[in-house]
Amino acid sequence: MSQQFLDEIELCVPALRRYARALTRNADRADDLVQDCLERAIRKQALWKPTGPLKAWLFRILLNLYRNELRVVRRRGEHLAVEALVAEPAVAPAQPGRIALAEMARAIETLAAEQREALLLVVLEGMSYAEAATALGIPIGTLMSRLGRARAALRTATGGAEEPRLRTVK
Amino acid sequence: MTGAPFEIDTDALHAYVDGQLPAERRAAVETWLAAHPDAAALVAQWTRQNEALGALFPPVQQDPVPARLNPQRIAERVRTGRLEALRNIAAVLVVVAVAGSLGWYLRGVFWQEEPVYERLIDNAVIAHALYVKEKTHAVEAAADSPNLMRWLSNRISSPIDAPDLAAQGYTFLGGRLLPGEAGEAAHGPAAQLMYENAAAERLTLYITGPLPDKKEVWKLESRRGVDAYYWANDAVTCTIVASLPETDIRTLGKTIFEQLARKADSTWNPSAG
């Protein structure tokens, strides 16, 4: 196992944890997910082509594990308690026009899973669209349309829809 | 979209919000937004969404990474796990190999081969069932055929006479030659002798030359709905097949085996019965 490979993985751990937390809304579950992801990546090192971006590959593994987990939970009909957000601040918006975090927390829950996955990947990780599309295993056009739908849905959910709609732009 | 150096579409606005545009394009989008307040409001909304999401899910850099998320440690565990798996496989292989050779070694101890007479008795019972039903062709050669017993004696390589069962009410009908078995249990051909009493009840004797072990064996049992009484010595084997009470078949056996033994001129020990 090459040391360089492990070092590169180590650099991605904070990003993986952040993304996993955003997906699961539960710090422990998120770390479980990241641990599974790292184990799998290290076991399957041979499958990773050094030419591709390691980060996108890791996120792809994480997403697959997350989706499998969701599928299992859904099949079992279990209800996973959503932990209170660690950093949920006061409900009142700090400034007019700003979106209250609690409001956003609720809004993000209303998104379709695929929209949430795409939006969080782009916004939280600052991944390039190409990289994010790779991680999600979708074409870039699909990524853009998911992004668009996610933002529109958030707008509706956070009351931003009363603001002028975009008509002039295709 | 006047004055824009590239087409400003929704994708470009997303890219602007997500900071994915090179500087000159950023500037172009900003110029364009200044002229399009609706789009500018939307972009502002998206930007606020991004800020809210970023604040909602803050970076975890300041959190110490738990040991279980350390790739070095995971790699170590994966490596030792693999080694252990290999060791387990090796251990299982050793156990399988040892158990296998032990089993092979002990097979002779625990696995007794079925005695040859078991098959002789089976053959006798099958032949009996086949021929006692026959009316006109129950025997190949009738009792009065000349040299019948010499012929059969020669073929089974043991001198036999048809036992006299007149005292028990049975008349000798005749006999036939039957094939023996090939292979390890080879015992050569067999002579089947058939008897009948006044009630038209038939019994058969299935006689062969001696088995290789030449051991004296007695065996009385029921098979396929008939009784079979087997006896063997160093000169001959004989299976009586009939449907009779046990005392009758034992009495018959005594006289038949006695006569065969006397003819074969071998040791005869009636007390063994």
Q: Do A4 and A41 belong together in one domain?
A: yes
Q: Do A151 and A130 belong together in one domain?
A: yes
For residues B183 and B185, give the distance between their C-alpha atoms in angstroms, rounded to a whole number: 5
* Shortest CA distance from B45: residue in chain A: A160
Q: Do A113 and A52 belong together in one domain?
A: no
- The beta-carbon neighbor of A97 closest among B37, B48, B57 is B48
Six-digit token string for A136: 């999600």
- CATH code for the domain defined by B116-272: 3.30.200.100
User: A-B interface: how many C-beta pairs under 8 angstroms?
Assistant: 134
* Domain closes at, from A64, A84, A104: A84
* Domain closes at, from A54, A84, A114: A84
Residue A103, domain CATH? 1.10.10.10
- The beta-carbon neighbor of B38 closest among A1, A98, A168 is A168
Calculate the alpha carbon distances from B113 to B21, B86, B119, B123 in Å: 87, 40, 12, 18
* Domain closes at, from A84, A100, A118: A84
Q: Please judge whether B57 and A1 are an interchain contact, meaning their C-beta atoms are less than 8 angstroms apart.
A: no
Number of domains in chain A: 2
Q: Do A103 and A74 belong together in one domain?
A: no
Q: Do A72 and A9 belong together in one domain?
A: yes
Q: Do A92 and A78 belong together in one domain?
A: no
* Shortest CA distance from A35: residue in chain B: B69
Q: Please judge whether A120 and B57 are an interchain contact, meaning their C-beta atoms are less than 8 angstroms apart.
A: yes
Residue A11, domain CATH? 1.10.1740
- Asked if B51 and A103 touch (Cβ cutoff 8 Å), the reply is no
- Asked if B4 and B28 touch (Cβ cutoff 8 Å), the reply is yes
One DSSP character per residue, A63-94 reads HHHHHHHHHHHHHHT-----PPPTT---SS-S
For residues B263 and B192, give the distance between their C-alpha atoms in angstroms, rounded to a whole number: 17
List, as ranges, residues 72-111 from B with C-beta within 8 Å of A: 72, 74-75, 78-79
Tens digits of pLDDT across chain A (170 residues): 578 888 889 989 999 999 999 999 888 999 999 999 999 998 887 676 666 688 888 999 999 999 988 887 777 655 544 444 444 444 444 454 667 788 888 888 889 999 999 999 999 988 899 999 999 999 999 999 999 999 999 988 887 655 444 444 44
- Smallest CA–CA distance, residue A132 to chain B, in Å, is 12
Which residues constitute the domain of residue A59?
A: 1-84
Helices (H) and strands (E) in chain A, counts: 7, 0
Burial of A128 (0-12, 13-18, 19+ CB in 10 A): middle
Please report, as a single letter, which amino acid is at residue B191.
A
* Domain limits, chain B: 10-56, 67-110, 116-272
B chain contacts of residue A164, beta-carbon cutoff 8 Å: 37-38, 41-42
For residues B207 and A170, give the distance between their C-alpha atoms in angstroms, rounded to a whole number: 106
- Asked if B184 and B149 touch (Cβ cutoff 8 Å), the reply is no
Instruction: State the first-to-last Cα distance of chain A, in angstroms, to the nearest integer.
Output: 49
Q: Do A92 and A25 belong together in one domain?
A: no
Mean of pLDDT values over B171-177: 91
Q: What is the pLDDT of residue A93?
A: 43
Among B148, B160, B130, B126, CA closest to B233: B160
